[in-house]
């Protein structure tokens, strides 16, 4: 099955509004790159201006997180209803949310369904810690995270999964292409067990973790890697454009 690859940029908690506008201007022409879906994920204070900047183009805008309730007394949170006004995608379960904000698999299962109910395409992030990797528990961790997030329901429409080994996030230490392929293959096998082979074959699986212009081609050469969730390099317009072009060329 042909799967359109994805170049997703997670800006995390970086940049002012002025810097976000400058980054968008630096990415001029990214919407014209054929053969790739582009997703930009700015911080909440930048979402509206980034959404407006790319309005009318094929560039997708993603929230970095969301609450499960449509409204209520949840100071500091953003509801899916609010998010859907300035985004069409959402990142769910990024390793930094799991690590620093104690989000567990059950909470993420609810967020995954909330995204679906509010018309937001979810990017479900999964990945093992350094200790889990050293103890050869990568497959077990990925099986647990994917299985609990999906539950017993059909896959959310357009589901995307991102393999993000915790030990590679922001460290400059990327997985090898073989490691990324092995993990993504395992994720697809779990999806197949839960959803059936046909559905699993259509799910796009990304690699994330110290992705750069000089290593993206090696990741994209792997048959089960369908793009990248890019962190630091997404803040550099030239770097992210180069990554996006390389992802598009892989098809």
DSSP class of residue 166 equals G
Q: Which of 65, 24, 1, 12 is nearest to 229 (CA)?
A: 12
Q: How far from the centroid of its chain's Cα atoms is residue 209's Cα?
A: 11
Give the length of the chain: 251
94 in catalytic set? yes
Residue with tokens 């293959």: 185
Catalytic residue among 116, 128, 164, 179: 164
**DSSP string for 5-19:** -EEEEE--S---HHH
Q: Choose the catalytic residue: 94, 103, 116, 186.
A: 94
Residue 103 appears among annotated catalytic residues: no
Report whether 215 contacts 17 (CB < 8 A): no
SS3 content of the chain, % helix, strand, coil (to 5): 45, 15, 40
Which residues are identified as catalytic? 94, 164
């Amino acid at each position: 099955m042909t799967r359109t690859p994805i170049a997703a940029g997670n800006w995390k908690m970086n940049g002012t509004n002025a810097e976000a506008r400058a980054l968008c201007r630096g990415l001029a022409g990214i919407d014209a790159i054929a053969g790739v879906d582009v997703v930009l994920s700015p911080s909440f204070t930048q979402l509206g201006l980034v959404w407006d900047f790319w309005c009318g183009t094929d560039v997708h805008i993603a929230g970095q997180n969301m609450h499960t309730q449509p409204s209520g007394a949840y100071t500091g949170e953003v509801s899916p209803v609010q998010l859907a006004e300035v985004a069409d995608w959402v990142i769910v379960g990024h390793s930094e949310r799991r690590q620093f904000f104690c989000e567990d698999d059950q909470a993420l299962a609810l967020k995954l369904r909330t995204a679906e109910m509010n018309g937001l395409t979810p990017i479900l992030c999964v990945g093992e810690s350094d200790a889990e990797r050293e103890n050869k528990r990568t497959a077990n961790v990925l099986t647990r995270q994917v299985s609990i997030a999906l539950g017993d329901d059909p896959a959310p429409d357009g589901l995307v999964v991102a393999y993000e080994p915790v030990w590679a996030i922001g460290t400059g230490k990327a997985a090898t292409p073989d490691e990324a392929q092995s993990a993504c293959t395992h994720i697809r096998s779990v999806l197949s067990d839960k959803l059936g082979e046909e559905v699993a074959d259509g799910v796009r699986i990304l690699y994330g973790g110290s992705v750069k212009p000089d290593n993206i081609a090696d990741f994209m050469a792997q048959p089960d890697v369908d793009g990248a969730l890019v962190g630091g390099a997404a803040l550099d317009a030239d770097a992210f454009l180069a990554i996006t072009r390389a992802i598009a060329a892989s098809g």
